[in-house]
């Protein structure tokens, strides 16, 4: 069954995996760095409180600063990807993010310095956001697009599964300052070892989404002599996307899911602790959620490559509502809390994947960078509101129960927004600008 965009006349399934698995591996590790700040901040909260006497609202304010920087600038970063190609953006982005994250070790107790360093990190993070990694993968994998995107986004799940326990261990053994340095330089270094040699498409295609001549893709006498116009992936124009009801629904669902998910990501360990779970156990529960998220993405990707089930997006986005309800009624029961972690991984872990997949399918790849960059503005805005709101709720009430109660109806509403979006549109390829036969 063929549901996807621009799928006619493309690589067959075996050749996709054979040609492009190194690209997918590099993108998977590259995208994983994006989840590090949110995943680790909850572990750094207590050391920062002990060192500088800050409350959780002040510490969580970093996410608001991050959002205020990222939200308005994400579409411009997407335009850079469309203009220069993903590889040219990703490599310097990883270098800058690794260095700026390691620089948090230099904190001296000044809140102004804390905020300023988050401004620097937010600017660097624009170069490694999802719209950098997704276009090459979505363009290279056509028959298996859903599964490939699920694998790519599993990098963030691996990070969220491994980093809490790793961060706890590093803080205990080395202190919080060296933990920042080790994670920042170490994780970015491993990602660069894969991105530098492999984040390129092994194909003769000259689609501007996946390669350009400066990257050595399609250059040379054969490309110069090609008589036919070069075709790039089709899709909505940026203006059409802004007026499209389906894209607006996806963006609003993205806002609500991220509003709650970002708060959970930052405060996960402290939330579990308020229900009687030890810090080590709480960090270990992240592993349960991460593994569940990986499996859920792979299953959802396999299904969505073959069928367009109207109810599946609703189930994925709304399922954390059940997890929040169970946690409120758990009374500290570890089996119930493990089930909560699994449900969070199933729903919350697939929310970003779902938004990217739906944006790709309903918006196409023609202007994906700008379109998803705009959708990501909603992500950035909600990521700035969610964590600081949850921190304020804790500082005011001494627990997170109000946050959990508010989250239940909001997750359900997010699911309803993406319920029954309709068939995937079929976008015909379009001629790349400046590549008509007359000009070549």
Output the pLDDT for position 308.
64
For residue 364, what are the β-bridge partners?
A: 235
Tell me which of 2-11, 86-95, 188-197, 314-323 is least confident: 2-11
Output the pLDDT for position 209.
41
- The set of residues, in sequence order, having a beta carbon less than 8 Å from that of 129 and lying 6+ positions away, is 34, 70, 74, 77, 373, 376
- Cα separation, 268 vs 401, whole angstroms: 13
Confidence tier at 224 by pLDDT (50, 70, 90): very low
pLDDT tens figures, 364-392 = 777 776 777 777 777 767 777 888 888 88
Tell me which of 142-146, 247-251, 386-390 is least confident: 142-146
Taking the alpha carbons at both ends of the chain, their separation in whole angstroms is 37
Tell me which of 4-18, 170-184, 293-307 is least confident: 4-18
Output the pLDDT for position 404.
94
CA 328 and chain centroid, separation: 28
Tokens for 77, please give them: 């970063």
- Cα separation, 271 vs 398, whole angstroms: 11
- Is-contact 164 283, C-beta < 8 A? yes
Output the pLDDT for position 440.
36
Inform me whether the pLDDT recorded for 1 exceeds 50: no
φ/ψ of 231, rounded to 5, equals -100, 135
Closest among 266, 31, 237 to 127, alpha carbons compared: 31
Asked if residue 430 is part of any domain, the answer here is: no
Output the pLDDT for position 200.
80
Maximum alpha-carbon separation in the chain: 73
Domain residue limits at 250: 13-203+228-423
Q: At what angle do helices 245-274 and 401-417 cross, to 10 degrees?
A: 160
pLDDT tens figures, 319-350 = 899 999 999 999 889 999 999 999 988 887 67
Average the pLDDT over 184-199 and give the result.
94
φ/ψ of 208, rounded to 5, equals -65, -15
Output the pLDDT for position 395.
87
Tokens for 390, please give them: 């949850």
Closest among 126, 142, 130 to 207, alpha carbons compared: 142
SS3 letters across 283-344: HHHHHHHHHHHHHHHHHHHHHHHHCCCCHHHHHHHHHHHHHHHHHHCCCCCHHHHHHHHHHH
Average the pLDDT over 285-303 and give the result.
81
CATH number of 160's domain: 1.20.1250.20
Inform me whether the pLDDT recorded for 12 exceeds 70: no
Highest mean pLDDT among 178-187, 237-246, 276-285: 178-187
- Who wins on pLDDT, 280 or 89? 89
- Cα separation, 139 vs 99, whole angstroms: 30
- The set of residues, in sequence order, having a beta carbon less than 8 Å from that of 227 and lying 6+ positions away, is 437, 440
Output the pLDDT for position 409.
95
Tell me which of 73-77, 134-138, 364-368 is least confident: 364-368
Confidence tier at 214 by pLDDT (50, 70, 90): very low
Output the pLDDT for position 430.
59
Output the pLDDT for position 345.
84
Tokens for 188, please give them: 């970015």
The per-residue pLDDT of the chain, averaged, comes to 81
Inform me whether the pLDDT recorded for 40 exceeds 80: yes
Total structural domains in the chain?
1
Asked if residue 428 is part of any domain, the answer here is: no
Asked if residue 440 is part of any domain, the answer here is: no
Asked if residue 211 is part of any domain, the answer here is: no
Asked if residue 101 is part of any domain, the answer here is: yes
Asked if residue 3 is part of any domain, the answer here is: no
Asked if residue 369 is part of any domain, the answer here is: yes
Asked if residue 235 is part of any domain, the answer here is: yes
Closest among 26, 73, 42 to 381, alpha carbons compared: 73
Inform me whether the pLDDT recorded for 221 exceeds 50: no
Output the pLDDT for position 26.
94
Confidence tier at 247 by pLDDT (50, 70, 90): confident
Inform me whether the pLDDT recorded for 403 exceeds 90: yes
Tell me which of 85-99, 303-317, 366-380, 424-438 is least confident: 424-438
How many CB atoms are closer than 10 A to CB 6? 24
Output the pLDDT for position 4.
43
Output the pLDDT for position 438.
43
- Is-contact 30 155, C-beta < 8 A? yes
Confidence tier at 119 by pLDDT (50, 70, 90): very high
């Amino acid at each position: 069954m063929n549901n996807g965009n621009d799928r006619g006349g493309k690589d067959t399934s075996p050749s996709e995996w054979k040609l492009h698995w190194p690209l997918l591996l590099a993108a998977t590790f590259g995208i994983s760095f994006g989840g590090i700040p949110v995943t680790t901040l909850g572990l750094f909260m207590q050391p920062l409180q002990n060192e500088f006497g800050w409350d959780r609202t002040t510490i969580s304010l970093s996410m608001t600063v991050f959002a205020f920087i990222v939200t308005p600038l994400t579409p411009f970063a997407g335009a850079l990807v469309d203009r220069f190609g993903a590889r040219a953006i990703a490599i310097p982005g990883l270098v800058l993010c690794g260095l700026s994250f390691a620089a948090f070790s230099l904190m001296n107790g000044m809140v102004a310095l804390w905020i300023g360093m988050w401004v620097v990190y937010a600017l660097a993070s624009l170069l490694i956001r999802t719209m950098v990694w997704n276009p090459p993968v979505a363009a290279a994998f056509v028959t298996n697009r859903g599964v490939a995107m699920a694998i790519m986004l599993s990098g963030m799940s691996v990070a969220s599964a491994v980093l809490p326990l790793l961060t706890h261990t590093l803080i205990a053994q080395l202190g919080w300052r060296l933990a920042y340095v080790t994670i920042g330089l170490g994780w970015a270094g491993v990602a660069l070892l894969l991105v530098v040699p492999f984040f390129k498409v092994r194909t003769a295609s000259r689609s501007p989404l996946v390669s350009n001549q400066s990257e050595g893709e399609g250059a040379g006498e054969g490309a110069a002599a090609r008589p036919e116009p070069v075709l790039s992936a089709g899709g909505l124009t940026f203006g059409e996307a802004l007026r499209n009801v389906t894209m607006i629904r996806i963006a609003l669902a993205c806002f609500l899911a991220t509003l709650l998910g970002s708060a959970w990501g930052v405060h996960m360990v402290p939330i579990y602790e308020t229900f009687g779970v030890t810090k080590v156990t709480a960090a270990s529960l992240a592993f349960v959620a991460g593994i569940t998220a990986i499996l859920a993405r792979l299953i959802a990707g396999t299904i969505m490559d073959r069928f367009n089930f109207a109810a599946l997006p609703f189930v994925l986005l709304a399922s954390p509502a059940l997890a929040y309800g169970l946690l409120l009624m758990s009374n500290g029961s570890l089996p119930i809390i493990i089930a909560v972690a699994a449900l969070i991984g199933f729903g919350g872990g697939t929310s970003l994947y779902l938004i990217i997949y739906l944006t790709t399918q309903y918006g196409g790849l023609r202007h994906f960078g700008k379109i998803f960059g705009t959708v990501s503005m909603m992500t950035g805005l909600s990521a700035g509101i969610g964590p600081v709101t949850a921190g304020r709720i804790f500082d005011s009430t001494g627990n997170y129960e109000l946050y959990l109660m508010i989250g239940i109806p909001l997750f359900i509403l997010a699911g309803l927004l993406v319920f029954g979006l309709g068939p995937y549109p079929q976008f015909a390829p379009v001629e790349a600008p400046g590549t008509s036969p007359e000009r070549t």
